[in-house]
Structure 1
Amino acid sequence: MDAAKKPVSPALAGPYGHPYHPILVTVPIGAWVSSLVFDIAAQLVRDPASLVQGARWLIAIGVIGAVVAACVGALDLFAIPTGTRAFRTAVLHMSLNLLVTLAYAANFLWRSDDRPEPGMLALNAVSLVVLGVAGYLGGKLAFRYGVRVVDEDTQAEGFSQPK
């Protein structure tokens, strides 16, 4: 259990008690949620070209951010002992996130013109739902199984009264 709390490479994955993966995932999540907002808005305006292109670039930013977050997340995965529930959960978390990233990469390539298509919006929305499931599993890894979370003695330091 202690192995999953310590980083494989503190320089690349973040020091003990402060992993980089959780902060890096905010980039694709924010970009992809914003792209869905742009897609919805594109359905409501007379000239949607700028919104469609904005959604396209937000998707690209999200894909790049997801690749970076996945590299750091893979380092955290290597610290989890195989054959455990935590490892199986981490593999499912990773697989769903890779599926979502591929879906968004395909969505980016689909957007070759400035016309909004309902299929683009639908793929965007479904991808976000799957991303939500993957995020739930990531939360389970951290908050239920304690992956990359410091031990309770270290946590207790934050609740001690200053002398």
Structure 2
Amino acid sequence: MVSEHQSQAKQPVSAALAGPYGHPFHPILVTVPIGAWVASLVFDIGSRVSADPAFLTRGAMWLLAIGVVGALAAAMVGFLDLFAIPAGTRAFRTALVHMTLNLLVTGAYAADFAWRHAAGPAPRVGTGMLALSAVSLAVLGVSGFLGGRLAYRYGVRVADETTQAEGYASAGRPQRAGTAR
């Protein structure tokens, strides 16, 4: 049985902005910063071992910027998902930690971009810049784990079991409630 709190956390605050029921936009948008920041770290490492590292160094810097822009877009719809979670619940506390870590990581990557931009063209990514990217990515991994907990354990913005059961009904035959096939 779904509680009132669970039902509330599954519904979008604004379907037009946060995604319709069962199709939130936040998990779709987070792929942009995650992909950009992982690729940036790969480029950083590549710049340390390549004979011609300048293009990797520039590419890493711009991947940081793409990730920050993508993270801001994901955060905007993530805030809307946060507003759907009832305050005072374990899911809400988890969401606050998830949000805080994401904001810290985004700030760290923005600072990393500014640092690299201010340093000007460099043949290789500096050790401090590489370390900042690696630590930021590790913290992002922790935050992603918490985001997974929100969706897969607490069911935030995930369709309820009755709706999910529609996908398991045999084609052409409606499934009776309470039966498993």
2:18 is equivalent to residue 9 of structure 1: no
**Aligned position for 1:160:** 169
How far apart are 1:45 and its partner, in Å?
1.8
Measured against aligned partners, the alpha-carbon deviations of 1:93-132 in whole angstroms (never above 9, x if no partner) come to 0000000000000000011322220111110000000000
2:63 is equivalent to residue 54 of structure 1: no
- Unpaired runs of 5+ residues, structure 1, are none
2:49 is equivalent to residue 70 of structure 1: no
Which of 67, 85, 91 is the matching residue for 1:86?
Answer: 91
How far apart are 1:47 and its partner, in Å?
3.2
Matches within 5 A, 1:19-34: 19-34=24-39
Looking at structure 1, the residues matched to 52 and 109 of structure 2 have their Cα atoms a distance apart, in angstroms, of: 24
How far apart are 1:49 and its partner, in Å?
1.6
Which of 106, 109, 121 is the matching residue for 1:114?
Answer: 121
Measured against aligned partners, the alpha-carbon deviations of 1:107-160 in whole angstroms (never above 9, x if no partner) come to 000113222201111100000000000000000000000000111000000000
Which of 140, 144, 153 is the matching residue for 1:144?
Answer: 153
TM-score (norm 2): 0.89
Looking at structure 2, the residues matched to 45 and 61 of structure 1 have their Cα atoms a distance apart, in angstroms, of: 23
Looking at structure 2, the residues matched to 38 and 148 of structure 1 have their Cα atoms a distance apart, in angstroms, of: 34
Q: CA RMSD in A?
A: 0.7
Higher Rg of the two aligned structures = 2
Q: Which amino acid aligns with 1:124?
A: S
Q: Which amino acid aligns with 1:118?
A: T
* Percent of aligned pairs with the same amino acid: 69
Report if aligned partners of 1:36, 1:55 keep a CA contact under 8 Å in 2: yes
Which of 100, 103, 108 is the matching residue for 1:103?
Answer: 108
Q: Which amino acid aligns with 1:53?
A: R
How far apart are 1:46 and its partner, in Å?
2.9
How many residues of Structure 1 are paired with residues of Structure 2 in the alignment? 163
- Unpaired runs of 5+ residues, structure 2, are 1-5, 173-181
> Does 37-46 or 100-109 show the bigger shift?
37-46
Secondary structure of the residue aligned to 1:43 is helix
Looking at structure 2, the residues matched to 51 and 152 of structure 1 have their Cα atoms a distance apart, in angstroms, of: 47
Report if aligned partners of 1:21, 1:73 keep a CA contact under 8 Å in 2: yes
**Aligned position for 1:134:** 143
Q: Which amino acid aligns with 1:147?
A: V
